[in-house]
Amino acid sequence: MTRAKTLYLCTSCGGQSTKWQGQCPHCQSWNTLQESAATPKGATRALALNDVQPVQLLGEVAATTVQRTSSGLLEFDRVLGGGFVPGGVVLLGGDPGIGKSTLLLQALSKVSQLHAVLYVTGEESAQQVAARAQRLNVDYAQVALLAEIRLQSIQQVIEQRRPALVVIDSIQTLYSDDLESAPGSVSQVRECAAQLTRIAKTQGPVVVLVGHVTKEGTLAGPRVLEHMVDTVLYFEGDGSSNFRLVRAVKNRYGAVNELGVFAMTESGLREVSNPSALFLSHGNTPVPGSCITVTLEGSRPLAVEIQALLDAAQSGHPRRLSVGLDQNRLALLLAVLHRHADISCADQDVFINAVSGIRIAEPAADLAVLLAVVSSLRARPLPQGWIIFGEIGLAGEIRPVQRGQERLREAAKLGFTHALIPKGNLPRQPLEGITVQGVDRVAQAVAHAFEASTGRTNAQG
């Protein structure tokens, strides 16, 4: 009996090696090679010969407008770019128990009212899925359910039923008869995902793959999996909070970094119509170290509270800690504050937090972070009803940010009465309900904010 040839596959780039090495020879990643059985050459050759597609001239291909299928959940549709695209493949990842299956079961129940759907469960029995659907109080009568992990059986069912939407929960549980490795291995995940993607592109159903995540928060399996699919979504949430965020990190049919907000309740996930209210504190009295900014998540402006806490350092090395913001950028802002506003935090531990666990990647929050730091250092609150945003450069200048008018309109809608923004973002026409002040230097912004705060304090006294 011939022994099966063994290959080592890289979980990062999918590259192959005939022997194990500590470092992948293709992408230079460390400790990413995993053992896998090689695919028989005959099967690969037969597949290639039987599935040759005709060559077409691009100019002869008709570009048609695709009719999207709504998931029935507006927040989910927002992240998808307007709904499911026929033939699209969506990869949804998240921590165990975060609510991935709940979200998809709710979407399936709504889509099933108009289209045929199929839910393939590889982690739970049919009875467990039915119990969850009953607990969620959703209409699941038209949802076709298949408890199966063999890829060839799933392919047969899809060809027979021709569903418009297929959910695979999860891709790590499937296995193909063509490979000898165990379910969840690099080769199995890659092969099963490739075959399901092929079905989506040739037969037209939407395929949603549920993926596991590693302890680092990245999707488990080969990185090539994220390249194969059309859309990659992350389902995030804090264990101490009932709120859940669906974030798009890749989308061929819509904007990336789009954000959908849900609240986990006893009857499932509920859409949050005004997510800005989640990221603001509910106190009416201004406190030192708190500043409100408007950040963009995809196409949506969100008001977010930035909190800063400064305390005298207890050692010779002051701490710099940020939650929800880039820690390296915090160090940069503190250096700019010292150089261009003559405010030093060298003897202070600095802690920064974006409320409710949101992550801010754009530099538009720079000015809000800096003023929150000064507010905590001086133990003086910023004026109530103020919204602040702007990017800070190394020369101490305050740069304009994109879509400043939309940020101002969101602030006015939430009841903010004053805005401190870059001069480059000043509106040409006054906005109703909000007074806008433009600044172009860090020292000018600090002076203006705390002069206004002093005036307000004196008026109250």
Q: What is the CATH number of the domain that holds 359?
A: 3.30.230.10
Domain boundary among 257, 273, 289: 273
Burial annotation 109-136 (CB, 10 A radius, 16+ → b, else e): bbbbeeebbbbbbbbeeeeebeebbeeb
Check whether residue 291 and residue 427 sit in a common domain: yes
Check whether residue 401 and residue 320 sit in a common domain: yes
Check whether residue 295 and residue 437 sit in a common domain: yes
Check whether residue 249 and residue 316 sit in a common domain: no
Please report whether residue 59 resides in a domain.
no
Check whether residue 238 and residue 113 sit in a common domain: yes
Select from 234, 241, 197, 201 the least CA-distant residue to 217. Answer: 234
Q: What's the confidence (pLDDT) of residue 111?
A: 96
Q: What's the confidence (pLDDT) of residue 284?
A: 66
Tokens of 41: 């050459």
239 Rama class: left (phi>0) / alpha (psi -120 to 50) / beta: alpha
Please report whether residue 74 resides in a domain.
yes
Backbone phi, then psi, for 283, in 5-degree steps?
A: -80, 150
Query: What is the rounded radius of gyration, in angstroms, for the C-alpha atoms of the chain?
Result: 26
Residue 320 neighbours by CB under 8 Å, 6+ apart:
327, 330, 331, 334, 349, 350
Check whether residue 160 and residue 14 sit in a common domain: no
Residue span of the structural domain in which 20 resides: 6-40
Q: What's the confidence (pLDDT) of residue 210?
A: 94
> How many other β-carbons are positioned within 10 Å of the β-carbon of residue 226?
18
Please report whether residue 53 resides in a domain.
no
Please report whether residue 46 resides in a domain.
no
Please report whether residue 330 resides in a domain.
yes
Q: What is the pLDDT along the chain (461 residues), one digit of tens a residue?
A: 445 567 787 777 767 788 888 888 878 888 877 776 655 544 444 444 455 678 889 888 887 778 899 999 999 999 999 999 999 999 999 888 889 999 999 999 999 999 999 999 999 999 999 999 999 988 889 999 999 999 999 999 999 999 999 999 989 999 999 888 888 888 888 899 999 999 999 999 999 999 988 766 677 767 788 889 999 999 987 766 788 889 899 999 988 878 898 988 888 899 987 787 767 765 567 899 999 999 988 778 889 999 999 999 988 889 999 998 999 999 999 999 999 999 999 999 999 999 877 888 899 999 999 999 999 999 999 998 999 999 999 999 999 999 999 999 999 988 899 999 999 999 988 888 899 999 999 999 999 998 866 655 444 44
Could you please report the per-residue DSSP string of 408-432? Answer: HHHHHHTT--EEEEEGGG--SSPPT
Please report whether residue 449 resides in a domain.
yes
Is the entire prediction scored with pTM above 0.85? no
Check whether residue 129 and residue 148 sit in a common domain: yes
Please report whether residue 63 resides in a domain.
no
Q: What is the CATH number of the domain that holds 251?
A: 3.40.50.300
Domain boundary among 216, 240, 273: 273
438 strand-pairing partners: 421
Q: What's the confidence (pLDDT) of residue 184?
A: 84
- Report strand pairing: 398-399 vs 391-392: antiparallel
Tokens of 111: 């889509």
Check whether residue 325 and residue 242 sit in a common domain: no
Q: Work out how many domains the chain is built from and give that number.
A: 3
From the number of C-beta atoms within 10 Å of its C-beta (0-12, 13-18, 19+), residue 82 rates as middle
Check whether residue 226 and residue 99 sit in a common domain: yes
Q: What's the confidence (pLDDT) of residue 24?
A: 84
Please report whether residue 50 resides in a domain.
no
From the number of C-beta atoms within 10 Å of its C-beta (0-12, 13-18, 19+), residue 95 rates as middle
Check whether residue 397 and residue 266 sit in a common domain: no
Tokens of 336: 């700019």
Check whether residue 16 and residue 88 sit in a common domain: no
Taking the C-alpha atoms of residue 145 and residue 104, their distance in angstroms, rounded to an integer, is 13
CA distances (Å), 427 to each of 19, 63, 176, 261, 299, in order?
63, 39, 59, 30, 19
Check whether residue 449 and residue 330 sit in a common domain: yes
